[in-house]
Chain A
Amino acid sequence: MRRLLGYVGAVLALLAGWWLLSVAVGSPALPGPAPAISDFVRLWWSDLFPQLLHSAWRVVASMTMGALLGAPIGLLIGRSPRLDSVAAPMVFLTYPIPKIVFLPVLLVLLGIGNAPKIALITLIVFFQILVTARDAARGIPAASLLSVRSLGATRTQVFRHVVFPAALPDIFTALRISTGTAIAVLFFSESVAGTSGLGYYILDAWGRIAYSQMFAGIIAMALLGVVLYEILEMAEARVCRWTRVGR
């Protein structure tokens, strides 16, 4: 409830700032909130919602794949000094490269449909989760591992009862943070290639000089980000309940 009030307050403040800015700039390229919102409502079912579904599918699919690949591999690397000595240099060499530079390559290889966009975001999320999971796995206190090993746990059981849950809160945090990057990359890849998704819609409205529609698209994109972030936050609160008690 307090969260909701917080959001309402933030939205009101943003709208006020937007309105002031639009008055100050006085250009048709920056319409006020009123025409944008009225277009948003008018075009929601016909244009915005279908485009949002395209975008949501791309970003959800790629974040899921990035996490499902990155987390286990990162945990394995983090717990195995031998794997780490091979993988860590590779990861740290490739991690700083902005993966977005591979978009042209992916477009050539995978066409202009869903595949290159999903591949690119997956790649980015994969690296972020991998690095986080590796660090989290390395930081697990020895006593937690010893006590479970003393019970006769196998390697798999140690992973299941200690390594995975210990790293889970960090993995969730990394996922939440990566929603921002994921949506930015989504916008970029949709505006560069293809004819669907909110990124395409925004750029198309820009091309038609339909500025209030462009801003309706921007609102929809922001909505997508907020919803994703909140879903992750809720999932984390459910799955990592122990982090909210005591302390």
Chain B
Amino acid sequence: MATVEACAIDVVYEGVDRPVRALEACSLTVADGEPVAIIGPSGCGKSTLLLAMAGLVSPTGGEALIAGEAVRGPRLRTALILQDFGLLPWKTVFHNAALGLEVRGVSLPQRTERVEAALARVGLADFRDAYPGELSGGMRQRLALARALALDADLLLMDEPLSALDALTREDLQGLLLDIWRQRQHTAVLVTHSIEEAVYLGRRVVVLSPRPGRVAAIVDNPGMGAEGYRSTSAFYERCNELRGLLAAEGAFDQDPHVGGEGS
């Protein structure tokens, strides 16, 4: 049971010369097993919200609850996937995928078994001894995903995980993310700046306001996960609805990239 509750979270960063209010009274509930996408103007606090859920940023006000417990630090079954994948260049594919288990003191035989299964699941079984520097962008992203799978995470927090990829690879990986979610039914929070990606991967899409970030709107997206959803008219309607909401938040005035598929 990995429900996620953000209860009126405030985050104020110290900043260089003046404090930066990144989040203000930001509240959001994600049900167990629900995939939610978060979208908003750049700099509105999306990453901050995710890091607060991951236990890496302490809110100055309010709190984050996961499975009913206040987040005080990194949680065992939460996996965080960052935009630049968070891979360590000095570790091989196998050791990168095994890092979470190693840090948690899982025994080597068990580690090997779980990592090999995870690598096979994302199609990297043949690359276990390669270094990240030898992999393409898409393969690196698969590796970051394998690390989360090896942890048997019940909550996947993803911060613009696909934004560095080319359009084809990105669509391929969106498909993989969806497959894996359909199979495992984990709770997922995906931060993205792509409207199409949000509608493809979020059962609900949360729109944040410009800084300080609050929840400006939530769009229900019940068709998400259906076969061939991307080419239905419902998909386009959702995208247009979101585009309108984002325009109302001034997303397009500040950042010409928001809403585009390629960045």
Interface of A toward B, CB cutoff 8 Å = 141, 143-144, 146-153, 157, 161-162, 165-166, 168, 240-242, 245-247
Contact = CB atoms under 8 A, between A and B. Distances in A.
Given A146-B80, A146-B86, A150-B55, 12 more contacts: A143-B83, A146-B82, A147-B86, A148-B88, A150-B74, A151-B151, A152-B74, A153-B103, A165-B88, A241-B131, A242-B132, A246-B131
Contacts of B103: 148, 151-153, 157, 161
B99 A148 contact: yes
Interface string B74-90: 11101110111111111
24 contacts: A143-B83, A143-B84, A143-B86, A144-B86, A146-B56, A148-B103, A149-B74, A150-B54, A150-B74, A150-B78, A151-B74, A151-B99, A153-B103, A157-B103, A161-B91, A161-B102, A161-B103, A165-B91, A168-B90, A241-B131, A242-B91, A245-B134, A246-B135, A247-B133
Contacts of B151: 151
Contacts of A166: 90
B138 interface: no
Contacts of A162: 88
Nearest to B151: A151
A161 B99 contact: yes
Dominant secondary structure of chain A at its interface with chain B: helix
A168 B134 CA distance: 20
A154 to B, nearest CB: 8
A140 to B, nearest CB: 11
Interface of B: 51, 54-56, 73-76, 78-80, 82-91, 99-100, 102-104, 130-135, 151
Contacts of B82: 143, 146-147
Contacts of B73: 152
Contacts of B86: 143-144, 146-148, 150
B87 to A, nearest CB: 8
A157 B86 CA distance: 16
A157 B55 CA distance: 17
Nearest to A166: B90
Dominant secondary structure of chain B at its interface with chain A: loop
A85 to B, nearest CB: 16
A161 B102 CA distance: 10
Contacts of A144: 86, 88
A148 B98 CA distance: 11
A152 B90 contact: no
A117 B87 CA distance: 43
Nearest to B83: A143
A146 B79 CA distance: 12
B55 to A, nearest CB: 8
A245 B131 contact: yes
B10 to A, nearest CB: 21
A144 B132 CA distance: 13
* 9 shortest interchain CB distances as A-B pairs: A147-B86, A246-B133, A150-B80, A165-B90, A152-B74, A151-B100, A242-B131, A153-B103, A245-B133
A168 B74 CA distance: 27
Nearest to A157: B103
A149 B56 contact: yes
Nearest to A162: B88
Contact of A147 (B80, B90, B135): B80
Contacts of B56: 146, 149-150
A141 B85 CA distance: 12
Contact of A152 (B51, B91, B104, B134): B104
Most buried by A among B76, B78, B131: B131
A152 to B, nearest CB: 4
A9 B43 CA distance: 57
B259 to A, nearest CB: 25
Contacts of B130: 245
Given A143-B84, A246-B131, A246-B133, A151 B104 contact: yes
Most buried by B among A141, A152, A240: A152
A152 B131 CA distance: 23
A147 B100 CA distance: 10
Contacts of B100: 151-152
Contacts of A146: 51, 56, 80, 82, 86
A77 B230 CA distance: 52
B68 to A, nearest CB: 19
A246 B133 CA distance: 5
B227 to A, nearest CB: 33
Contacts of B89: 242
Contacts of A245: 130-131, 133-134
Nearest to A150: B80
